[in-house]
């Protein structure tokens, strides 16, 4: 699990193919990977990856064809910047929201404009994800925890404050930039609870008490 609060940015320094899979190496001068262990989870642009090699300022991870196909990691070029976050621990302040690191889909930047000292960015979301995105709800864009401002049928907008622009790769975005999206965990679980009402007991106070809540 992650919080969506980016520790720093790094860059893709190597890509080694292994058939359809690949090993990606990330270099980050501001990230001390010596505090991590082999097998630890590190989020790269919001994608949870498992460290298979570590050095002081680099780490490598094996990336499956599934991840390369359904996230933006497969399109990264050598030297491209990425957002980095180490996994949440019980002592980590939850400054953002609970993020799984499992990308739900890829969105696209439609517009960006100045909004006082912030910037307002509008994205197109895949049709299958639009129903999970709500005004004032949370969304993760390339691993960054953000609050949704406005929602239409197929788009949503967020405001990016100067600190976030300076600490993440969002300032690199151009029109049509593809981004990894992860919707709020609660929205997905609520939908699942409401599915198949005939075969699933009705969610009620009595049902919650019976489940130990």
Q: Find the CATH number of the domain harbouring 26.
A: 2.40.30.20
Q: Are residues 44 and 74 in the same domain?
A: yes
pLDDT at 186: 83
Q: Are residues 187 and 113 in the same domain?
A: yes
Contact 107, 140 (CB under 8 A): no
CA–CA gap between residue 97 and residue 184 (Å, rounded): 8
Residues 6+ apart with CB under 8 A from 179: 72, 106, 107, 108, 109, 123, 141, 142, 173
Q: Are residues 109 and 82 in the same domain?
A: no
Q: Are residues 16 and 74 in the same domain?
A: yes
pLDDT at 65: 96
pLDDT at 147: 96
Which one of 55, 86, 117 terminates a domain?
86
From residue 98, give the alpha-carbon distance in Å to each of 1, 9, 91, 139, 198: 7, 20, 14, 10, 31
In a domain, 1, yes or no: no
Contact 53, 60 (CB under 8 A): yes
In a domain, 72, yes or no: yes
Q: Are residues 55 and 118 in the same domain?
A: no
Q: Are residues 118 and 81 in the same domain?
A: no
Contact 119, 159 (CB under 8 A): yes
Contact 109, 123 (CB under 8 A): yes
pLDDT at 92: 82
In a domain, 17, yes or no: yes
In a domain, 99, yes or no: no
N-term to C-term CA, the chain: 22
Contact 92, 99 (CB under 8 A): no
pLDDT at 197: 56
In a domain, 205, yes or no: no
Q: Are residues 75 and 122 in the same domain?
A: no
In a domain, 15, yes or no: yes
In a domain, 198, yes or no: no
Q: Are residues 29 and 81 in the same domain?
A: yes
pLDDT in tens, the chain (213 residues): 999 999 999 999 999 999 999 999 999 999 999 889 999 999 999 999 999 999 999 999 999 999 999 999 999 999 999 999 999 887 888 888 999 999 999 999 999 999 999 999 999 999 999 999 999 999 999 999 999 999 999 999 999 999 999 999 999 999 999 999 999 988 877 777 777 555 555 667 777 777 777
pLDDT at 11: 98
Domain limits at 119? 105-191
Count of structural domains within the chain: 2
In a domain, 196, yes or no: no
CA–CA gap between residue 190 and residue 17 (Å, rounded): 39
């Amino acid at each position: 699990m992650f919080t969506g609060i980016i520790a720093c940015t790094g860059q893709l320094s190597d890509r080694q193919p292994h058939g359809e899979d690949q090993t990606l190496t990330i270099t980050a001068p501001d990230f001390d990977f010596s505090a991590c262990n082999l097998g630890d989870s590190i989020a790269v642009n919001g994608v949870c990856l498992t460290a298979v090699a570590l050095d002081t300022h680099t780490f490598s991870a094996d990336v499956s064809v599934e991840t390369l196909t359904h996230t933006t990691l497969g399109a990264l070029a050598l030297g491209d910047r990425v957002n980095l976050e180490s996994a949440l621990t019980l002592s980590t302040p939850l400054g953002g929201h609970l993020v799984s690191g499992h990308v739900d889909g890829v969105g696209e930047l439609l517009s960006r404009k100045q909004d006082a000292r912030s910037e307002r960015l509008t994205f197109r979301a895949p049709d299958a994800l639009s129903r999970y995105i709500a005004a004032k709800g949370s969304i993760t864009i390339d691993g960054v925890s953000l609050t949704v401002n406005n929602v239409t049928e197929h788009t949503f907008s967020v405001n990016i404050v100067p600190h976030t622009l300076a600490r993440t790769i969002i300032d690199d975005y151009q029109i049509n930039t593809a981004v990894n999206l992860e919707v709020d965990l609660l929205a997905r679980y609520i939908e699942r609870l409401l599915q198949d009402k005939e075969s699933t007991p009705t969610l009620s106070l009595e049902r919650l008490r019976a489940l130990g809540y």
